[in-house]
Structure 1
Amino acid sequence: MLLSLSEEHRQHLAFLPQVDGSVVAEFGRIALEFLRRGASPKIYEGAARKLGVPVETVQHGVEGLMFLMMESAKHKISEVDFLDSLLVLGLGDDLNQTLLQLYLQHRADVCSILQQLSCSPPAYCDLHWRLDVQLASRGVRQQLIPRLMLSLQRTGGTGADVVLQADPPTLLHLVCTLEDALHAARSGRTRRFARSIK
């Protein structure tokens, strides 16, 4: 699989052939720190002073390199595909090899950082319920007011329990809506649509 690089991304990486290979390796280290801790304008200013270029040029170079490493690690691109993706940029063989070594060296780190940044949605784990009945109140003297208390336990996300309260009509409406959704999910139209997506 080859990476598709936008024109803006190519412009950001066009600065790399103008600098030494050790500077590219340093940009790779800065890009990895950017992924771990966020952007640091002081680092960009220091690098721009050393190279004698505007701060925006250094920032765009680091961000372009970071995007290249992230996309390559996310798609688990092989060495050959990585080099073929770089051919479009026309950076030169030495710089391509430097970027390949940078990618191979930091691929595991970038994958672990991306895994930490990804969020997993909460999933249903368990449900506990309790029926509360209020026998009377000052406003309503001779009427039972039942309420159902639900404690929904989740995994993933924050993992915190969610406590819900429902009266019988609301609960019946919820059950009817869920049954309608299950019926619609089992219909032939939904199965045809699911097959067309695969």
Structure 2
Amino acid sequence: MLLVLSEDHKEHLSFLPKVDAPVVGEFGRIALEFLRRGTSPKIYEGAARKLCVPVEMVQHGVEGLMFLMTESSKHMISEVDFLDSVLVLDFREELNQMLLQLYQQHHSQIRSILSYLPSNLPAYHNLEWRLDVQLARRSVRQEVIPMLTMRLHLTRSDSCSVYSIRILQTDPSTLLHLISTLEAALVAMKTSNARRILRNIK
């Protein structure tokens, strides 16, 4: 899977090639610290004074780096996918490798931090299913198609109790077609052509 970076994120990260390698490493440390404890304007101001640049530039650089690391960790993207994702930034190879090293060193820790953050998205809790088959019917002579009924239980991330139930119904052939289509889409996402298209999406 490749990350699709918006123009704003590209602009925020464009500050990184203008600073030395140790500064990029320090930005990575600050980004991780902010994930743990929240942002601090004083740290932005101190870094801006040292680099003789506007505070907003430092803030955007750190936040852009934080977004890159959190999204990469959230989706557990591979080394190849990470490098392909940052190609659109046109960074020098040394900087790409440094960002990759930051990601590889801290992705487990970032995922652990993200698991404690509140989220409004529903989460899977349970799935119940039933196959309904009509064995005989005098008024219908042709074959009767069985139906699969599913009850999906969802929870909020901040609660263990079920807050939403969705009822889904389909016939087995449609379900098999949906599964095969999704599997084909996952295979297609790994092709070089799909990677090239994703890199060029703006």
Task: Give the TM-score band, short-chain normalised.
Answer: 0.5 to 0.7
- What is the CA distance between 1:123 and its match in structure 2? 6.8
Structure 1: unaligned runs, 5 residues or longer: 125-153, 161-177
Asked if the contact 2:118–2:157 (Cα under 8 Å) also holds between the matched residues in 1, the reply is no
Which residue number in structure 1 is paired with residue 108 of structure 2?
A: 108
Aligned equivalents of 2:78, 2:170: Cα separation in 1: 42
| AA aligned opposite 2:30 | I
Name the TM-score, length of structure 2 as normaliser.
0.63
Q: Which amino acid aligns with 2:50?
A: K
Q: Give yes or no for the alignment of 1:87 onto 2:84.
A: no
- 1:7 Cα deviation from its structure 2 partner: 0.6
CA contact (8 A) 2:118 2:158 kept: no
Cα RMSD for the two superposed structures:
3.3
Structure 2 unaligned regions, length at least 5 = 127-154, 183-202
Residue 157 of structure 1 and its aligned partner are, at CA, apart by 3.6
Shift of the alpha carbon at 1:155? 10
Displacement of 1:116 = 1.1
1:34 alignment partner, SS class: helix
Residues 115-124 or 75-84, more deviating: 115-124
Q: Counterpart in 1 of 2:37?
A: 37
Preserved CA contact (<8 Å) 1:69 1:107: yes
Going from structure 1 to structure 2, the CA distance change for 1:66 and 1:196 (only over 3 Å counts) comes to same
CA distance in 1, matches of 2:62, 2:174: 46
- Tell me the secondary structure at the aligned position of residue 3 of structure 2: coil
- Count of residues in Structure 1 that have an aligned counterpart in Structure 2: 149
* SS of residue matched to 1:88: helix
**Aligned equivalent of 1:24:** 24
Deviant stretches of 4+, over 3 Å: 118-124, 154-160, 185-188, 195-198
Greater radius of gyration (CA): 1
Alpha-carbon offset, residue 196 of structure 1: 5.6
Q: Once the 2 structures are TM-superposed, how far is the Cα of residue 53 of structure 1 from its aligned partner?
A: 0.2
TM-superposed deviation, 1:192: 6.1
1:137 aligned residue: none
Question: Which residue of structure 2 aligns with residue 60 of structure 1?
Answer: 60
Larger RCO, structures 1/2 (Cα 8 Å, 6+ apart): 2
TM-fit CA distance, 1:156: 7.2
Q: How does 1:27-176 map to 2 (within 5 A)?
A: 27-119=27-119, 157-158=158-159
* Greater mean alpha carbon deviation, residues 96-105 or residues 50-59: 96-105
Task: Report deviation, 1:51.
Answer: 0.2
Contact kept in structure 2, 1:28 and 1:66, CA below 8 Å: yes
Q: Which amino acid aligns with 1:86?
A: V
Fraction of identical pairs, as percent: 61
